[in-house]
Amino acid sequence: MIPVKGYEGQKVAVLGLGRSGLATAHALEEGGAEALCWDDSREARERAEGQALILHDLTRADAWQDVAALIVSPGIPHLYPEPNRIVAAAMEAGVPVDNDIGLFFRSFADGDWDSFDIMPKVVAVTGSNGKSTTSALIHHALEHAGRPAQLAGNIGRGVLDIDPAHDGEVVVLELSSYQTELARALTPDVAVFTNLSPDHLDRHGGIGGYFAAKRRLFAEGGPDRAVIGVDEAEGVYLAGQMAEGPADDRVIRISVDRKLTGPGWQVYARKGFLSEYRKGRQVGSIDLRRIKGLPGTHNHQNACAAYAACRTLGLAPKQIEAAFHAFKGLPHRSQLVGEQDGVAFVNDSKATNVDSARAALSAFRHIRWIAGGLGKEGGIESLSAKDLSGVTKAYLIGHSAREFALQLGDVPYEICETMAQAVARAAGEAQPGDTVLLAPAAASFDQYPDFEKRGEDFARQVASLMSGR
């Protein structure tokens, strides 16, 4: 645990008692503060009481007396589409609002570091798609090379729940826009921006607010190195803002759309080959086509970002390449869950929007596509004929099955309703060389509590099918 600094002997309110909220409360107590906890859920409050935490009703008019700060869990809005009523009351009372990420950055360093030979570092990864894979890949490469590392944030453990740093350790954080937009301290050593596509727009007041939340990690954090995807206009803009000139190698530009040139530091992937250029000379390359855990262009972008971050941390190209080959991928993200009779079964349940589904579709050929669920605005109408060219047939499930069917153009489809029926029908019609791909392009909440449970059901149905049950 990372004891929170700066609030010793003071009262600090904690709103939201999920995983990060409970960890925050305990870290505050560990640092000598008095954590005053609240959640609208009775079950969450009872869980906090069971952990000997103090409940404090933040809905009361006198709730803010002598409170030094309010720490808010990521899912609670503080501005758009409208502030949570408790957050609004805190701001009206002049109480500073922060989150666990802000507390982490103000508390991570401690006196033990004076005896370290190599200072610990923090790598923070943000962006619309690929954050989890990129973060996990950096962490995996570090551990594969024998470097001490921890993985936390939006993946793995809560940021305040990790262990105090060891000599030379690297902490890799996946940070969502919900986390970066509010943190009062953001000081990573290396910051990574993967890409940008519209998401969470109601929470951020539009695409500009969404980008602004991501940009804070760089503009306010002032990282020593910035790894920035430049395949969207926002990334080009951000890289331009961070760099002092074309040769400034504190900024590493990455791309999967084009070859990058110039006197600076670039990493790009074309036709399955990753290339690293520095000062106009190639200094590293990897054939990504042979790496099973990173299929498709979207994963090649993740590989470029992770490679660049690892290079800033001193790993050699051959070390990174060996780690990439040993990477098995993350659950529910282009995860190979089975192969039988020449048919591959791939779980990409994390593809909850049309952009991530498009990326998954581009990674395979001869696809038996399982899609559907609780569709988002526009459904899959933005998928072009080119995006769907690899789809042999679609097997549609959930609430949006019929809506998706009307948006498929000439692609053959079948309304299956349930995962069990979709897997059975896709597997029964698949030929050697086909891929049965779950990439729903929709949320899961019509049939499952989250995308993880949806992916687990897919894997379970595949395992049952392969075992003959």
pLDDT tens, residue by residue, 58-98: 999 999 999 999 999 998 999 999 999 999 999 999 999 99
Locate CATH 3.40.50.720 in the chain: 11-98
Name the average pLDDT for the chain: 95
Locate CATH 3.90.190.20 in the chain: 335-464
- State how far the Cα of 61 lies from the Cα of 285, in Å rounded to an integer: 61
**DSSP state letter for 157:** B
Q: What is the pLDDT of residue 278?
A: 96
Q: Does the pLDDT of residue 155 top 90, yes or no? A: no
Superfamily holding 335-464:
Mur ligase, C-terminal domain (3.90.190.20)
Q: What is the pLDDT of residue 277?
A: 97
Share of the chain above pLDDT 70, in %: 100
Kindly compute the dihedral angle of the four CA atoms of residues 162, 165, 168, 172, in this order, to the nearest 10 degrees.
30
11-98 CATH fold: Rossmann fold (3.40.50)
Q: Does the pLDDT of residue 45 top 90, yes or no? A: yes
Q: What is the mean pLDDT of residues 426-434?
A: 97
Q: What is the mean pLDDT of residues 455-463?
A: 97
What is the 3 state secondary structure string of 83-123?
Answer: CCHHHHHHHHCCCCEECHHHHHHHHCCCHHHHHCCCCCEEE
DSSP, collapsed to helix, strand or coil, labels residue 385 as coil
Structure tokens at 46: 């009872």
Q: What is the pLDDT of residue 129?
A: 87
pLDDT tens, residue by residue, 370-425: 999 999 889 999 999 999 999 999 999 999 999 999 999 999 999 998 999 999 99
Query: Annotated binding residues for ATP, as ranges?
Result: 127-133
List the alpha helices (DSSP H) in 409-450.
419-429
- CATH architecture of the domain 103-326 equals 3-Layer(aba) Sandwich (3.40)
Query: Annotated binding residues, as ranges?
Result: 127-133
pLDDT tens, residue by residue, 173-208: 999 999 999 999 999 999 999 999 887 888 999 999
pTM: 0.87
- Work out the pLDDT band at 334, boundaries 50, 70, 90: confident
Share of the chain above pLDDT 90, in %: 88
Q: Does the pLDDT of residue 469 top 70, yes or no? A: no
Q: Does the pLDDT of residue 127 top 70, yes or no? A: yes
- Write down the residue that tokens 């040993």 correspond to: 326
DSSP, collapsed to helix, strand or coil, labels residue 24 as helix
What is the H or E stretch that residue 460 is in?
Answer: helix 451-467
Q: Does the pLDDT of residue 221 top 90, yes or no? A: no
Locate CATH 3.40.1190.10 in the chain: 103-326
